[in-house]
Each structure stands twice: as structure tokens, then as C-alpha cells.
């Protein structure tokens, strides 16, 4: 399964930029990879792990902005169409078979 996080946070003031950076750092430290600007994805091995990371995400939300989360299966994620561009290096390297080996 994958968790996809979409967010739009204010970055006008210095304090808002700091909050944005802290949230982005949280995502990266928690194992999320950037798919596009303000769109991050994390590979999870089952619903228990997905629930665990959704709780961690909920505990780290900033007060302002818009943050959305979508949970999809790996099969659904693989069906994503690239209209312009191509998969990142990380997307090409990691797949579900490799995850189950760990």
C-alpha cells in the first residue's frame, strides 16, 4: 500500500516558511519520497503499517494550510499515467517485492 500526501502550506512569512520546512522534513525523515512539489508518497507493508504512519502524520500537522492524504494499493499506484515526465530513480528502484524481503 502507499500513502500519498498532498499539501499546500502558506509560506509568506518567515515563521510560515519555517513551519513548511519542519513539515517537509518530517515527511522525509518518516520515509516519504517527493513525487512532485507538495506531493509525497510512502510505501507501507499492509494496513497496520499504514495506520501507524497515518497516526504519526496526524500528530505532526501544522495548524494552517491544506493537507490531504490518500491511501492506495500498489496496483492502483502502478496504474498512474505519466502525461509529461517519467518515474524518478527511487520509483524505479523500489517495488513491493523488495519491500517484503526486509
Contact 7/65 with Cβ under 8 angstroms?
Answer: yes
pLDDT > 50? residue 101: no
DSSP code string of 73-84: -HHHHHT---SS
Query: Model confidence at 96, in pLDDT bands (50, 70, 90)?
Result: low
Residue pLDDT, tens place only, 26-56: 999 999 999 999 999 999 999 999 999 999 9
* Domain region containing 59: 2-101
Compute the distance between CA of residue 24 and CA of residue 7 in angstroms, rounded to an integer.
Answer: 10
Kindly list the distances between the CA atom of residue 98 and the CA atoms of 69, 75, 85, 92, in Å, as whole numbers in the listed order: 24, 15, 25, 12
User: What is the number of structural domains in the chain?
Assistant: 1
CATH number for the domain including 59? 3.30.70.240
Compute the distance between CA of residue 83 and CA of residue 68 in angstroms, rounded to an integer.
Answer: 22
Average pLDDT, the chain: 89
Q: Considering the chain, what percentage of its residues have pLDDT values greater than 70?
A: 88
Q: Considering the chain, what percentage of its residues have pLDDT values greater than 90?
A: 74
Amino acid at each position: 500500500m502507499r500513502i500519498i500526501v498532498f499539501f499546500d502550506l502558506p509560506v509568506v512569512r518567515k515563521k510560515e516558511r519555517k513551519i513548511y520546512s519542519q513539515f517537509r522534513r518530517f515527511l522525509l525523515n518518516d520515509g516519504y519520497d517527493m513525487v512532485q512539489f507538495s506531493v509525497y508518497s510512502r510505501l507501507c507493508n499492509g494496513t497496520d503499517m499504514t495506520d501507524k504512519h497515518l497516526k504519526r502524520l496526524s500528530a505532526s500537522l501544522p495548524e494552517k494550510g491544506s493537507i490531504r492524504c490518500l491511501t492506495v494499493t500498489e496496483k492502483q499506484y502502478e496504474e498512474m499515467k505519466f502525461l509529461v515526465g517519467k518515474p524518478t530513480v527511487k520509483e524505479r528502484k523500489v517495488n513491493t517485492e523488495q519491500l517484503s524481503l526486509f
